[in-house]
């Protein structure tokens, strides 16, 4: 268990509750956080170094910020036991795959890249809970090199956490999430930042209501994590920002022209699509 | 009571609960909706025409879509009793003030424009409840012509609904809400519309999670109401869209340049500002 925060802690708790693991060993940057994870029962032991953490481990999760995956995989590679399954929890997948290709060598066959869609606006092991992944989707993006056994076991452990699993390519994953996750996060962060940077920010915020609260909830997410996502998935996010800018320019032109019919049509289409989506989730 | 939907119905229910009104008379476009309002006890009577609705009325609420305020005020003006207080519930205020100036003549002194900040993503009298305005803010934008008595009574009735009241000019109101409400609605509608219009919309939506749900909740709002708001507050909304596009272009440039420090700084500023705002609300 490399990285014992919300995701790592919840993964360990879920697998313990499911009776799938005997002993969880934690490795992380912050000593205090690891102590807290011990107290909470997320992990059973803190490892002094990477080789001892990996000795006898048959399942390894890397749940660190996106930009740290590469050095962590480099440190893991020489010590990963044969037959162990290695998975991650990064929100972007092309970079995780690239980091694995650069660092794992023949052990690439043991790697099952994963993206659990859960809990993004909280962080830290204190927020961890065994139910975090229940009924959530985990996207798996196995490589051509991923071995069948690793693929099956990687899928099984995420399902043991209560998640639905779906497979797709890392490229498609990054496109899909640029649209439905990364762009909305960028918009929410930028809206709050724009308002906060104004001289009358205090008055403006005092009139923000429940709609603003929900719209900007994702702007409470970790700035470090989202910086890394912007860098790791930059090209796909840029394409989405540009498409959105074009859409916004069309709305602006409609407003300027007083074109109520086209404005209403766009809004109606959006509402109908969202209603359909919400109904499909329940 | 002209317009018996979520806002009109809730206003009537709240004032009845507070013991402030004896008899509520409803006027509206849809007969079925008015019958439903009678069943729910929001109104006591359906008026056949405007003169009979206003006979003996000492408080009149106009809670109709923004674009209908002008004809409704024109119909009300000749029949509004001396001493009656007239208020509205529109989400934009310069247009309500302009409609009042164009139609009310000397009765302008009886008008107290109001914007209750509540319940925007629901609609219809079935969603009405006496508690809708409790602890919510109602912005009042009295005119220079508004009489002192009307101003005091208008303030009192909204406070009797459980709301906090705040006074500002109609111009400032429309600027403030363009930033903290109208722009976020436009962004949410346009994001959903953009995704919904793609050939792979079904797959994209299937991977949208809780963050997307919250971010787009306001895209479930009434398309007709938001079309009217875009038209009524067009210049202020356009200014906000342009400011936001500039901010988004800066983020795009930072992503393109791989400028992690500036990206993180923006996100950090946004998160800190939102945290502070959320704490100030509780």
Contact of B177 with B230, CB cutoff 8 Å: no
- From edge to edge, which strands make up the β-sheet containing A111-112? A59-62, A85-88, A111-112
For residue A123, what pLDDT is reported? 77
Tell me how far CA of residue A162 lies from CA of A10, A134, A155, B212, in angstroms: 11, 4, 11, 21
Query: For A219, which of B197, B238, B270 is closest by C-beta distance?
Result: B270
> Of A175, A203, A176, whose CA–CA distance to B173 is shortest?
A203
Q: Which of residues 105-164 of A touch B (CB under 8 A)?
A: 117-118, 120-121, 136-137, 139
* Cross-chain Cβ contact B211/A184 below 8 Å: yes
| CATH code, B260 | 1.10.3660.10
A30/A77 same-domain check = yes
Contact of A42 with A12, CB cutoff 8 Å: yes
For residue A120, what pLDDT is reported? 59
Which domain covers residue B268, as residue numbers? 173-281
Residue A218 within any structural domain of the chain: yes
B85/B30 same-domain check = yes
Q: Which residues in chain A show pLDDT less than 70? A: 119-121
A158/A144 same-domain check = yes
Residues of A in contact with B209 (CB under 8 A): 117-118, 120, 136-137, 180-181
Q: Which of B168, B201, B232 is at the close of a domain? A: B168
Residue B57 within any structural domain of the chain: yes
Predicted TM-score (pTM) of this structure: 0.89
Q: What is the DSSP pairing of strand A111-112 with strand A85-88? A: parallel
> In Å, how far is A52's CA from the nearest CA of chain B?
34
B34/B154 same-domain check = yes
B26/B145 same-domain check = yes
Using one digit for the tens of pLDDT, what is the confidence trace for B193-224?
999 999 999 999 999 988 999 999 999 988 99
Q: Which of B168, B193, B226 is at the close of a domain? A: B168
Residues of B in contact with A180 (CB under 8 A): 195, 204-205, 207-209, 212
Residue B255 within any structural domain of the chain: yes
> In Å, how far is A47's CA from the nearest CA of chain B?
31
Residue B1 within any structural domain of the chain: no
Residues of A in contact with B188 (CB under 8 A): 215, 270
Tell me how far CA of residue B165 lies from CA of A93, B114, B147, B168, B211, in angstroms: 50, 9, 17, 10, 32
Residue A1 within any structural domain of the chain: no
* Cross-chain Cβ contact B274/A216 below 8 Å: yes
Using one digit for the tens of pLDDT, what is the confidence trace for B227-266?
999 999 999 999 999 999 999 999 999 999 999 999 999 9
A137/A270 same-domain check = no
A37/A160 same-domain check = yes
* Cross-chain Cβ contact B267/A223 below 8 Å: yes
Residues of B in contact with A230 (CB under 8 A): 251, 254-255, 260, 263
A26/A137 same-domain check = yes
Residue A147 within any structural domain of the chain: yes
In whole angstroms, give the CA distance from residue B162 to residue A251.
37
- CB count, 10 Å around CB of A240? 25
Q: What is the mean pLDDT of residues B55-82?
A: 94
A21/A156 same-domain check = yes
A36/A126 same-domain check = yes
For residue A39, what pLDDT is reported? 95
Q: Which of B168, B201, B220 is at the close of a domain? A: B168
Using one digit for the tens of pLDDT, what is the confidence trace for A74-130?
999 999 999 999 999 999 999 999 999 999 999 999 999 999 998 656 778 999 999
| Domain count along chain A | 2
A28/A157 same-domain check = yes
For residue B120, what pLDDT is reported? 59
DSSP 8-state class, residue B131: T
Query: For B223, which of A211, A245, A268 is closest by C-beta distance?
Result: A268
B46/B127 same-domain check = yes
Give me the percent of chain A exceeding a pLDDT of 70. 99
| CATH code, A129 | 3.40.50.720
Residues of A in contact with B258 (CB under 8 A): 231, 234
Phi then psi for residue B61, to 5 deg, are: -110, 130
Radius of gyration of chain A (CA): 21
In whole angstroms, give the CA distance from residue B132 to residue B118.
7
């Amino acid at each position: 268990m490399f990285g014992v925060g919300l995701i790592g802690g919840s993964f360990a708790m879920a697998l313990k509750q499911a009776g799938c693991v005997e002993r969880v060993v934690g490795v992380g940057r912050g000593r205090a956080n690891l102590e807290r994870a011990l107290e909470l029962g997320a992990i059973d032991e803190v490892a002094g170094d990477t080789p001892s953490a990996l000795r006898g481990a048959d399942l390894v999760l890397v749940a660190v910020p996106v930009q740290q995956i590469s050095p962590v995989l480099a440190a893991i590679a020489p010590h990963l036991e044969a037959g162990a399954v290695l998975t991650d929890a990064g929100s972007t997948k092309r970079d995780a795959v690239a980091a694995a290709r650069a660092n794992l060598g023949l052990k690439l066959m043991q790697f099952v890249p994963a993206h659990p869609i859960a809990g993004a606006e909280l962080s830290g092991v204190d927020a961890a809970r065994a139910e975090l992944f229940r009924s959530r989707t985990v996207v798996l993006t196995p490589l051509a090199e991923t071995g069948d056994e690793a693929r099956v076991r990687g899928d099984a452990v995420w399902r043991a956490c209560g998640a639905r699993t779906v497979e797709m390519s890392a490229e498609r994953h990054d496109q899909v999430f640029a649209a439905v996750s990364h762009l909305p996060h960028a918009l929410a962060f930028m809206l709050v930042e724009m308002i906060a940077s104004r001289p009358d920010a205090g008055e403006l915020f005092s009139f923000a209501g429940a709609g603003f609260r929900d719209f900007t909830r994702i702007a409470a997410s970790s700035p470090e994590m989202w910086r890394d996502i912007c860098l790791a998935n930059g090209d796909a996010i840029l394409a989405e920002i540009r498409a959105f800018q074009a859409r916004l320019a069309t709305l602006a032109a409609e407003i300027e022209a007083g074109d109520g019919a086209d404005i209403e049509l766009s809004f109606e289409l959006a509402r109908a699509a969202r209603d359909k989506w919400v109904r499909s989730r329940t």
